[in-house]
Structure 1
Amino acid sequence: MKSAEDLRQFLRSVDRKGYPAYKGAKGVYQFPDFTLSIEHVQGDPFASPSRVSIRVDGKKACFPAESYHLSHKRVALQDLLLRKFAAKVERYNFKARGSGKSGLIAVSRCGQEILERTACVADPEDGGILIRMEVGFPANGRTINSGELIKILFEFLPECVTGTCFYKTYPAAEKEKVKKVSELAEDQEEARRLLSAMGLTAFVANGSILPRESGVSDRPMAKAVPFTSPSSMEVVMKLPHAGAIKGMGIPRGVTLIVGGGYHGKSTLLSALESGVYNHIAGDGREYVVTEASAVKLRAEDGRSVKNVDISLFIKNLPDRRDTKRFCTEDASGSTSQAAGVVEAMESGAKTFLVDEDTSATNFMILDELMQMVVHREQEPITPFVERVRALYDEQGISTILVAGSSGAYFHVADRVIQMDCYVP
């Protein structure tokens, strides 16, 4: 391993040379408080940025062991550190000048979900922190400007690392935030465990904010109607830190969500769909929890299907194609949705989430008048409404389905939730 001073001298030696000379910087360098690895050097300033990582030893990071010793807490800590580091590097993004992507400093952008990402990894053994990022090595045209890269590597990044990866530098408020993140992760993990113990497929806490800011933003909508469970479905979850939380528990089985247009049916289903992930504090869906194997099903016209047995729903096609080993490069709405159901079953899904608006109509229902025109022996599709009951009774697969235009599913549902102005 080379020293930080070796890197500085090398960069000074290649200043004003052709851009390929940067390739010699690839390697691992020991800085006073962290290790810097230059893993890939871009070919020119307009190409994809160089890949750089920083590792801080656990003895220097000094995060409390209880914040990373369990998987769910470790993922929450990683998520917090990545967001914190991203906010700091954003202040220095493109502050070093040059052509093309010169001066870019970027890490993965985090959404509202708490996910395990390779951009930030905490060692479960000693709490060491690894952060991976992209850096645009500066140049004027295709001539190296190493003075600007020295500024990035020796001024900007050390300040970002110090403010993110060393627990001892955190003020009291930031240390408390680390604690709160760990506690929230513990509560969310317990809520998922309780789903199974209570015979539920999903839980939505009272007070949750389900509507999102816009179609392109996943942040909570301002002044949205807080969720309130109907009394008939209200349950209590006792969590380690949040205490007793009341909300709507959706039991296993077939659940129908109905209501007028724009009354919150799809919003509720969308929240349940994202409920397979934990969410950050302030998202509004921190305690919206769906069992982990839940899958959102929809029609996917034009998708490829390879050797999927869709005969449960479709058989006796006019061209006599084999639906037990169905293959196509351009699936229709009904065949794509049938394939999606079977693939979800094969993957072990125990809950299906379905929205009428994004489903193939002929896959979902076949009304009486249409059956009088098209006799059943001529119809290759067995609609989902005729299978949904058996999927639960025989396979233990629950379904939560949004319907706004057809009452065909009322007869097979265990319960019906009506949304009225975002209130169930």
Structure 2
Amino acid sequence: MFKQVVKCISNLRRFLAMSYNWGKRPYSQYSYEFNNRTEKIHGYGKDIGQRNTKEDLQQQLRSYENKPYNFYKDLKGTEWYFDDFSLYFDYIQSDPFAPPSLLRVRMRLSSTNLPLNNKQTTNNKQTNSVCRQNQYNTNKEEEEEVEEEERYAGWSLPKGGKLCIDEPDQYVLERTSVTIELEKKEDKGEDKSKDKKKAQAQAQEETEDMEKPGKGWLEVRYQAVKRQIDEKDAEFEMHVKSVENEEYLREVMLPKWKAIAFIRDGSILPRASGVSNLPLPLDKAIPFVVDKQDVLYREVELPNPIPMLCYKDRNDGSFEFEKRLTKTISGLIIPFGITLIVGGGFHGKTTLLSCIEFGVYNHTVGDGRECCVSDPTVSKIRAEDGRSIAGNATKAFSCTNASGSTSQAANICEALEIGSRCLLLDEDTCATNFMVRDITMEKLVGSSKEPITPFISKVRCLYNELNVSSVLVIGGLGSYFHVADQVIMMESYVPKNVTQKAMEIVGQKQMNIDTEEKIADGNDTTLIGLPQFNSFGSLSNRTPDSRTINANQKKALKSELYVVKEKTILFGWEEIDVSAVSQIVEMSQSNTIGYCIAYLHRHYMESRKMNMKALMQKMQKDLDERGLDALSNVSYNVQYSGKLVRPRIFEIAASLNRLRTLKRFTKLSGVNKKQKMFHVQLQKELENLCLECEFYSDRVSLIILM
């Protein structure tokens, strides 16, 4: 796959090494961050009216010998033509220790031998999955070939002479390190005058054709051409078909099954280690085995047949694996409602929950979790000691150092505010006093003294009123049997449906937990009565204050925006800790989130009229319509950045909510027209003093933002 791109990268490295190896400033003083853009040949860059060849580039580089670094910046803005590609210098570092230079390569699609046609769906809202697999294959091969060469080209520093490209993880995501742009053909004048009925009939025929299974589901924008293909093209086509299958399961079958997740029978769910997303080696792996008699068992015919890893039990505790070309798969569904995953320690409870958590993304072929999909709005919830919270519960609630229970409650409210339809909770990472509170503690510490409402008292009305499902990993809180719709027990990574047995233990399928029930255990009697609420309550409707986005409120938004490490975003002068936002799967996603916040601040927050959900919907719409190029006007560095990976709006909102300087307006309710006019007038007068106003029906309270 993309062998031509790999070859041009290796040739380019050799060329630059030869060209820069002179005098006091050899090529090895430079570090290059490769943005490998594969596009049509007409597009970006400046054309100075002549064709600049690689010989011209080599001559110009040699002319800079013993000259200041600023001379190298003359390379920017010019297209340098090589034999089968064009080279751009988008950014030149100012000295050997500055951030690496950015290079961009463009190739004609005809020279890549990609099995593509120009037909694409009308729903052009995201970059096609083809470019994502191109990125995956290109990275792997480029690394192998480049690393074989001399690493530092004679320079002693570790960063000298290094070429690198953003390396993806096990997930198929929209990214900018490799992009494909097909030239749009304009309609001729005579075509525009065709009969409308004929044109409509043709459009209808094309629409019906594209709606057939395998013809391009949602994010998949292009089809592989049916022709004789070599081994590399076969791998490429298999990946496209795998992504189509996962999109089909997620967008078509899950709603049909009324399920939030589907886990394929035979999947390899365990990962190689706690710091790796690679699958566990097959000689150590235990497949996910689903009982065909289970009520949650489902079979489905996929749009495309692809090789699947199948298993055979040897009856000695081990399994034999082989790949088979199949179109029909089976697996376990997680229905709407409240689902408990129980079992002993080290039996796969958290592993199964993790599979559901990351099922919002498509997986690469060979990951082991192919065709394991989840509802795209699934959100993982956990306790997060010390996080900043503003305006998530009471009218004027805020906290800069929240406890575990308070932070977990805020995380749930924030996910619901954006539109999550399913919450995932693991008992190991949850606050106990938030999850449950028994009647014994209730007798000692009354409800009037405890402001925290346990989740068990709200989880049922959360589903009944808001249609939000919950999946909980439970190891010691049997009280949740009273509110569960289904209970799945994991035993040696094998799921068993034990719903009926769990209901027999609690006495009835839906026990009324408003009352107290006594369960005798020998001579001891335990009270298990639990308070139950009839309503979940209203969701917050908050509007971020754009004046508080910056670490220093008196200055404009800073352009210094980058990721310090994978789970920390340096936004202006403020660090955003996203270590608890587990569905951020790549460092480049964190980087992109920072640019998304800056984009929202620049385009939509100034009016202070859009609440959090509306902001995220705007962000998603812009990314759907324009792709990651929508972020290009945030700063020049992002225009040709090869390190942008699209995040979900839930992770963008979660990161914004963790910005410690952020303050929010709450929706005015119960305020008459006269009071509202006074509020608007007073707020304008106090705007320059950086005051935030909160109004109630009977009083006005001014809070100075220190």
The counterpart of 1:237, out of the listed 300, 311, 328, is 300
**One-letter amino acid of the counterpart of residue 8, structure 1:** Q
- What's the offset of the Cα at 1:88? 3.3
Aligned 8 A contact 1:200 1:251 in 2: yes
- What's the offset of the Cα at 1:353? 0.7
Counterpart check, 1:376 vs 2:412: no
Distance 1:54 1:126, change over 3 A: farther
- What's the offset of the Cα at 1:340? 0.6
Counterpart check, 1:331 vs 2:415: no
Aligned 8 A contact 1:67 1:179 in 2: no
- Segments of 5+ residues of structure 1 without an aligned counterpart are 128-166, 311-322
Structural mapping, 1:14-413, within 5 Å? 14-31=64-81, 32-65=83-116, 69=120, 75-90=128-143, 91-93=145-147, 94=151, 96-100=153-157, 101-123=159-181, 125=183, 172-193=230-251, 194-222=253-281, 223-230=284-291, 231-242=294-305, 243-308=327-392, 310=393, 323-413=394-484
Aligned to 2:269, the other structure's residue is in SS state: coil
**One-letter amino acid of the counterpart of residue 9, structure 1:** Q
Residues of 2 paired with 1:293 and 1:423: CA distance?
Answer: 26
CA displacement, residues 336-365 of structure 1 (integer Å, 9 cap, x when unaligned): 111111110111100101101111111111
**One-letter amino acid of the counterpart of residue 107, structure 1:** I
Residues of 1 paired with 2:118 and 2:425: CA distance?
Answer: 37
Cross-structure match for 2:58: 8
Aligned 8 A contact 1:69 1:125 in 2: no
Aligned to 1:275, the other structure's residue is in SS state: helix
Aligned 8 A contact 2:337 2:468 in 1: yes
Residues of 2 paired with 1:124 and 1:304: CA distance?
Answer: 45
- What's the offset of the Cα at 1:124? 5.1
Residues of 2 paired with 1:96 and 1:68: CA distance?
Answer: 45
Percent identity, please. 42
Aligned 8 A contact 1:254 1:400 in 2: yes
CA displacement, residues 305-362 of structure 1 (integer Å, 9 cap, x when unaligned): 1222x2xxxxxxxxxxxx2342121111111111111110111100101101111111
**One-letter amino acid of the counterpart of residue 205, structure 1:** R
**One-letter amino acid of the counterpart of residue 129, structure 2:** A
Distance 1:66 1:339, change over 3 A: farther
Residues of 2 paired with 1:419 and 1:368: CA distance?
Answer: 29
- What's the offset of the Cα at 1:303? 1.0
Aligned to 1:241, the other structure's residue is in SS state: strand
Structure with higher RCO (Cα < 8 A, 6+ apart): 1
Residues of 1 paired with 2:265 and 2:117: CA distance?
Answer: 29
Residues of 1 paired with 2:182 and 2:438: CA distance?
Answer: 56
Cross-structure match for 2:188: none
Distance 1:111 1:13, change over 3 A: same
Aligned to 2:95, the other structure's residue is in SS state: coil
Distance 1:55 1:126, change over 3 A: farther
Residues of 2 paired with 1:215 and 1:66: CA distance?
Answer: 41
Distance 1:84 1:218, change over 3 A: same
Residues of 2 paired with 1:416 and 1:122: CA distance?
Answer: 46
Distance 1:68 1:382, change over 3 A: farther
**One-letter amino acid of the counterpart of residue 3, structure 1:** N
CA displacement, residues 43-87 of structure 1 (integer Å, 9 cap, x when unaligned): 222222101111223344453335983579954322222122222
- What's the offset of the Cα at 1:97? 3.4
Cross-structure match for 2:209: none
Aligned 8 A contact 1:68 1:77 in 2: no
Aligned to 1:6, the other structure's residue is in SS state: helix
Distance 1:412 1:199, change over 3 A: same
Aligned 8 A contact 1:59 1:126 in 2: no
CA displacement, residues 197-229 of structure 1 (integer Å, 9 cap, x when unaligned): 221100000000000000111111122110012
Distance 1:67 1:386, change over 3 A: farther
Residues of 2 paired with 1:354 and 1:304: CA distance?
Answer: 20
Distance 1:241 1:268, change over 3 A: same
Residues of 2 paired with 1:89 and 1:21: CA distance?
Answer: 29
Residues of 2 paired with 1:114 and 1:296: CA distance?
Answer: 20
Residues of 2 paired with 1:267 and 1:67: CA distance?
Answer: 41
Residues of 1 paired with 2:490 and 2:141: CA distance?
Answer: 42
- Segments of 5+ residues of structure 2 without an aligned counterpart are 1-46, 186-224, 306-326, 496-706
Distance 1:109 1:126, change over 3 A: farther
Aligned 8 A contact 1:46 1:99 in 2: no
Aligned 8 A contact 2:264 2:288 in 1: yes
Residues of 2 paired with 1:113 and 1:48: CA distance?
Answer: 27
Distance 1:257 1:226, change over 3 A: same
Aligned to 2:370, the other structure's residue is in SS state: coil
Aligned 8 A contact 2:118 2:182 in 1: no
Aligned 8 A contact 1:201 1:250 in 2: yes
Cross-structure match for 1:141: none
Report the more deviating stretch, 117-126 or 265-274: 117-126
Residues of 2 paired with 1:235 and 1:23: CA distance?
Answer: 60
Report the more deviating stretch, 52-61 or 200-209: 52-61
**One-letter amino acid of the counterpart of residue 155, structure 2:** G
Larger Rg: 2
**One-letter amino acid of the counterpart of residue 24, structure 1:** D
- What's the offset of the Cα at 1:171? 7.2
Residues of 1 paired with 2:229 and 2:155: CA distance?
Answer: 36
Aligned 8 A contact 1:205 1:248 in 2: yes
Superposition CA RMSD, Å = 2.3
- What's the offset of the Cα at 1:99? 4.8
Residues of 1 paired with 2:178 and 2:269: CA distance?
Answer: 28
